[in-house]
Amino acid sequence: MKGRGILAMVCLLLGAGTVSAACDEVGYIATFYVAEGKERAFEEAIVKLAVKVMEVEEGAILYAPYKGEQGRYYMMERYRNLEARNVHATAPEVLELFGPVSETLSAPVDVEAVSAVCAP
């Protein structure tokens, strides 16, 4: 998928541009280190993965890939609650899509768990 296609997918996943989150929302920010020359394969694989997550994971609000610099890519993930985040990637049709993603990586994925910031 070309850059414009990925951008369109990200825009579709972002929806109306919500600037706040429900207090029980949680997520992950994952950093992927893609091997030189494997960027296109990674982008195709990660977009397929993102589409499938949004199709089959009821608790997923956002699962959107972004491109950074120097072979780094990011996945911005939002889930309705901790239970939905814990269910992430348990569906067989999602699990099978991680293989093609991992085949393009030059280092392990860094995953940081995050939670919504809410006013007291």
Nearest to 68 by CA among 101, 102, 29, 94: 29
Asked whether residue 42 is assigned to any structural domain, the reply reads: no
Asked whether residue 23 is assigned to any structural domain, the reply reads: no
User: Which of the four pLDDT bands, split at 50, 70 and 90, describes residue 17?
Assistant: low
Asked whether residue 118 is assigned to any structural domain, the reply reads: yes
The residues, any chain, with a CB within 8 Å of residue 78's CB and separated by 6 or more, are 21, 25, 26, 27, 60, 61, 62, 63
42-100: pLDDT as tens digits: 999 999 999 999 999 999 999 999 999 999 999 999 999 999 999 999 999 999 999 99
Asked whether residue 21 is assigned to any structural domain, the reply reads: no
How long a stretch of residues is the chain?
A: 120
**d(C-alpha 1, C-alpha 50), whole Å:** 13
pTM above 0.85, yes or no: no
Residue 106's DSSP bridge partners are none
The residue range of the domain holding 115 is: 68-120
Q: How many domains does the chain have?
A: 1
User: At 115, which amino acid appears?
Assistant: S
